[in-house]
Amino acid sequence: MKYFFAWITIVTTLISVFAYAETGLNFRSKTEHSSNALNPVASDFSNLDHIKSSKSSINATSKGIQFHFRDYPLGEILRNIHDESGIHFNLAPQMRDTLVSIDIEAKNWKNSVKKLIVDFSRLEVWTNQLKTSRIWLMKSMPQD
């Protein structure tokens, strides 16, 4: 009986966290039912056309996943990862233009993404299928 209550508590907590992240923090997420669905990472990156693919690459090989980015906006990196893997990211709007330079090699998408976001405040929900995994990246505020 106590396992049942523990399970109910965990499910309720997760639902509360998801609801808070979606409504309270005003993150953007992809809605499957809308014809003009928002990109899961951020809204408009049309001003980033000057950034060319020569500065970035994501490679999936038999040895694993490789990320190579030089002074590339975090929002664009997450968009590229989403396009390749299906992982959903919710990014605080003030973080989308944060420039990142990385070289990452890992066995799989999950390990690669974990290495990328290790220095950010985040909430990660990983599932057995990448397309149902979701990560929220938040701008952290210093504590007084």
pLDDT tens for 59-90 read 888 889 999 999 999 999 999 999 999 999 99
Would you say 123 and 17 are in contact if contact means Cβ atoms under 8 Å apart? yes
Q: What are phi and psi of 125, to 5 degrees?
A: -125, 105
- The CATH number of the structural domain formed by 52-138 is 3.55.50.30
The distance of Cα 117 from the centroid of its chain, to the nearest Å, equals 8
Q: Which residues of the chain have pLDDT under 70?
A: 2-7, 11-55, 141-144
Domain assignments of the chain as residue spans, ordered by start: 52-138
Tell me, what's the pLDDT at 144? 52
- Residue whose pair of structure tokens reads 């809204």 in the numeric block: 43
* Sign, CA torsion 32/19/128/7: negative
The model scores a pTM over 0.75: no
